[in-house]
Structures are given as structure tokens and as C-alpha cells.
Structure 1
Amino acid sequence: MSVDILGAYWTTAGPVQIRTGREWSLFDWPDRCAEAKRVGMSGLGIWHTDLEHLLERYSLAEIKQIFDDSGLRDLELEFLNDWFVPPGDEKRVASDGQRDLLFEAAAALDAHHIKIGNLARSPATVERLTEAFGELCADAANRHGAPLTYELMPFDINAASLEAVLRIVGGAAAPNGGIAIDTWHLGKMHIAPDELRAIPPEYMTYVELSDGMQENMPDHSQETTRFRRLPGEGEFDIPGYVRVLADIGYTGPWGVEVLSDALRELPMPEMFQRTVDTAVDQIEKGLKP
């Protein structure tokens, strides 16, 4: 079975310090691309701070050439916060600068998608989010061909449910707007695989696999950034999610986003190989007739 695996940024970046320090990777871009090719990945992800760091050494054209020369196809860009904050607000000013960075990169790198959401936990109504998502998608359509994916997650203080995210994406009804599903978030939100059948196929844009434990740790922020598990090494029904998502028409790459201290400590070859091996095993179980 041929399976497309996208190594998300936090899975393949190595020993970074999420939210607390250096977020850009010590692994050089050519080395990441070469390792992805070796283990059979179809693509990689780039976080916005890592992109800024890469641009100190490479042009966008050079980043694209290195990626293409490695035979990779699927490139993820993330993450855009505060795109719905009123214009003129200092958060929106920073967000607009980040938008320009990601949109320019999406055009030059032929990105598979750009992930957006509300990791910053800025407040807004669902109505405002719907309006702003439509505006953001319209701007994106004029600047690049990559769809925008709204990530469903329990940390979103405005839309912490599948129903709410569907209201936003469906209400905007943008051809280039969809949903990003992460199985770690699904597990923590107690969303069963069959509940995903509510997602219209046209909005099912991107999927990430990540495992974990049902019982929450005391510090949820630390749990999500330090203690996730590779697919099949936790308690979530990864094959069940894969099966339903394939049933509703998802045909894109399967991202693997595992934010884990243990994974970050591994040598680069082992980190990449285990990412692919565990993901392929769970996907094949889910897609087995």
C-alpha cells in the first residue's frame, strides 16, 4: 500500500523549545529534506519562526529547489493567529505581517496548505470568525493557490467543537477554505470517529495523526507540547479515525504531528524512520478492507 506521509514541523524539527525559547530547528533544511526522502515521506512542514530563520540563509526559490530536488511534493506552512482581530489592534498588525510572510511563501513554495486557528486564545464570536475567515480566504485566493485550513482544537476559546468549526468554514463557504483535523485533539475532545461523518467532503482539507492518553495531565499545555505519542503508541483509535476520514473522501497526505520530548531526543534518522513506520502501520490498519 502506498501511503503519503507529511512530517509536520514539530515532529521533525528536533530539540526545539516550544513557546519557551528557540522554536526554529537546528536541523538544516537540506538535511531534513534528504532524511524525508530516505524514509519515504511525501513532504514536510515549516513553522513560521523556522521559515524566518531559513530565510536568513536561503531564498524562497532555494528552499523550493532543495525540496523539489529531494522528490518531495507536500509542504505545509503554519501558523496564523489573530487574523480575526479588528484592524489596527497591535495583535492584528503582527498577524498581518505574519500573513504576508506565509502567503508569499505559499506562492513561492507551492504549499499544500496553510494552517490557521486560535492558538493565541484571542476572543471573538463565531459570527466574527466566519466573516473574517471568508475575508482571509478571499485575500489568499488573490495571492497563492494553497487552501487555508482551520484547525479544530480544544484550546480554541471561541470554537472548541466540531460543530463550531463547521459553522465557521461552512458559513464562509470559501472554495479555498477547509478544516484541519488532528487526532490528538479529537481524542482529547472525546470526538468519536463516526462523528467526523458530519464534515462535508469539500471541507476535509488536511489530517494529522498523533496519539496520546485519555486521562489528562494536570498541565494541558505541557501535555500537548511535550507528551504526545506516535500513532499506535497511545490510547486513541487512530485506525478508526483513518477509516472514517477515508470514507468521507479524504485523499490528501497524512500528516504526523507528535510534539514529544522523547521523540525530540532521538537521533534524526531514528526520529524520521519511527514517524513513518508508526504512521504507515496505523493507516494500513485503518484502510484494510
Structure 2
Amino acid sequence: MTPQLIATCWVSAGDTAPGLPDETSPIPIEERIELIAQTGWSGIGLVHHDLLQARRTIGYAELSRIIREAGIDIVEVEFLNGWWTTGAERAESDIQRAELFEAAKALGARHIKVGAGETDNPLPLSTMASAFADLADEAAESGIRLALEATPFSHLRTTQEAVKVVTHSDSPAAGLMIDIWHTHRSGLSHDDLWDVVPMDRVFAVEIDDGHKDVVGSLFEDTINNRAYCGEGDFDTRRFIRRTLDAGYKGPWGVEIISAEHRSLPVAEGLKRAYETAMNCFPSTVNAR
């Protein structure tokens, strides 16, 4: 079967990036959906600010209709942070949580991507595990799945830590997001990855590529210097082979976040991201 690829939010967003005060895409949502459909993708990702703008303008019912009529079957929403915090920061996170839950339910999202912030002083794993268990219980009540992503600059710096947090919960909503960028940058090899990750808790997998040397901070590198699949040093093809061998059968998010990608016309960037990703799959999987 041809792999199902999700155009994660930054692949179709144009000239915007994670961490900006306003992450809203300058590209009209209807145009993004049309371009995603035209370039072969099976799924679309939308970030919080894009979702709020769509709710204010066309509404979620109309957004869902446009997505489905374009032939796009998979929706993911992102990015929930701050769920472990307290006080004013937690109050802000709770608003975001409610808004993302609303969007996920209205759009029939496959999962919500969940992060662990950006920090130089990670919290104890027990604190993160307890908070995530509470979050997962709430998500399960709404029929929502959570895909938790470890990032090497966050409170959960390794995939092993994310696994411990997710498996602390017995909620059916508690799952993992496995992204080649973050597993590679944290030092976990493609061959060792599936020895530490339980496949039954993997809700999503993302592919991209990167270069051997980090430019700037890890966060700056991850939002400015990702490469198209197969065009860097991370060996995306081997990652995919090992993931398939481990039994993964779900869709694949393609997350190209880079200054180069943002500089391209959206249609050109989508086409390049799709074709380079597909070229990394074994021919027996990618047969049409």
C-alpha cells in the first residue's frame, strides 16, 4: 500500500514558524487544503492559532466539510503545552487545552500533539507523569487521543522519558509521538529505538531529516534547519525501514520546519516535501 502521509502544520503554513507570538499561517485555510489535496497528501495538520482563526471565520463545521470534500481523511491538531504547570501559566494552558479539545472533536482529529515545553531545568519525571495521567484521563472522557513528543530541549528530553510518562497512565488516550528529528538528536539510534518504545503506545510517527552539526541552540536548529527526507545525515530511509519492521502501520507525518522550506511557494514546498518523503519508503511499500 502507498504510505499515508500527513502534511503537518508547518509544511503547508508558509512563512511562519513555531515559537512566534502569532503562529497563524498567512495562507488562507481553503487554499492550504486545496494545495495539500492536489499534491497527494492523505492528512492535514493545523496549529492552535490556525484553528482559532478558522473558528472565528468559517467555523469548524465548514472547515471539516472542506477538508473531507477535498479527499483528506486524516486531521491532527497541535500543540498542547503547559499541562504540568501551576498558577497563571496553568490557567493559560487550560484555555488552550479546552480550545484544542473542541477543535479535535469537531474535526474528528486522529490525535492532538502534546509537547513538554522548552527549559534548561527539567522537572522530575514523577511530576510530568502524574500531570500527563490526569491530562490523558480528561482526553479519554472526550474520546481524544494524545501523542506525547519528547524533545531534547524540554522537560522530557529523551524518548525513554516520554515512554515512562506515557506508560505511567493506563488511559487509552495516552500515546507517543515518535519524530526522527528528536530521537536522533537525543542520541537514540534507529536500530535501538524500537527496543525501548512499545509499539502499542505509538499513536503517531513523524519523518524529516537533518544535518550532523547543530546550528545555534537545539530549538533554533529544529525550527530553522530541518532537511527534506533523504537530503540530510539522519538516514530517513533506515528509520522508516526499522519502523516498518517493528510493525508500525499508521500514517506518517512529514514535518519539514526550515528557513528554506518557508521561503518556497507553498505548492512547491508541499510537492517537494511529499516527493522526498515518498522516495524514502521501500519500493515494496510505495508500490501503486
* TM-score class, shorter: over 0.9
Are 1:32 and 2:32 matched, yes or no? yes
Aligned to 1:91, what secondary structure does the other structure show? Answer: helix
Q: Could you tell me which amino acid in structure 1 is paired with residue 14 of structure 2?
A: G
Look up the match of 2:147. Answer: 149
- 8 Å Cα contact 2:178-2:206 kept in structure 1: yes
Name stretches of at least 5 consecutive residues in structure 1 with no aligned partner. none
- 8 Å Cα contact 2:9-2:47 kept in structure 1: yes
- After the TM superposition, which residues 12-161 of structure 1 pair with which residues of structure 2 at under 5 Å, given as runs? 12-86=12-86, 89-121=87-119, 123-143=122-142, 145-156=143-154, 158-161=155-158
* Cα distance change, pair 118–40 in 1 and its aligned pair in 2 (3 A): same
Look up the match of 1:11. Answer: 11
Aligned to 1:56, what secondary structure does the other structure show? Answer: helix
CA shift digits 1:15-56 (9 cap, x unpaired)? 114424441111111111111111110011111112112222
* Cα distance change, pair 21–103 in 1 and its aligned pair in 2 (3 A): closer
Percent identical among aligned pairs is: 32
By how many angstroms is 1:73 displaced?
A: 0.9
Which deviates further from its counterpart, 124-133 or 76-85?
124-133
- 8 Å Cα contact 1:212-1:229 kept in structure 2: yes
Distance 2:219 2:191 in 1: 27
Distance 2:20 2:158 in 1: 27
- 8 Å Cα contact 1:81-1:120 kept in structure 2: no
Task: Provide the TM-score with structure 2 as the length reference.
Answer: 0.93
Look up the match of 2:164. Answer: 167
By how many angstroms is 1:146 displaced?
A: 3.0
Name stretches of at least 5 consecutive residues in structure 2 with no aligned partner. none
By how many angstroms is 1:78 displaced?
A: 0.6
Aligned to 2:57, what secondary structure does the other structure show? Answer: coil
CA shift digits 1:182-209 (9 cap, x unpaired)? 1111221221112122211211110111
* Cα distance change, pair 17–182 in 1 and its aligned pair in 2 (3 A): closer
Distance 1:234 1:4 in 2: 22
By how many angstroms is 1:150 displaced?
A: 0.7
Residues paired across the two proteins, number: 285
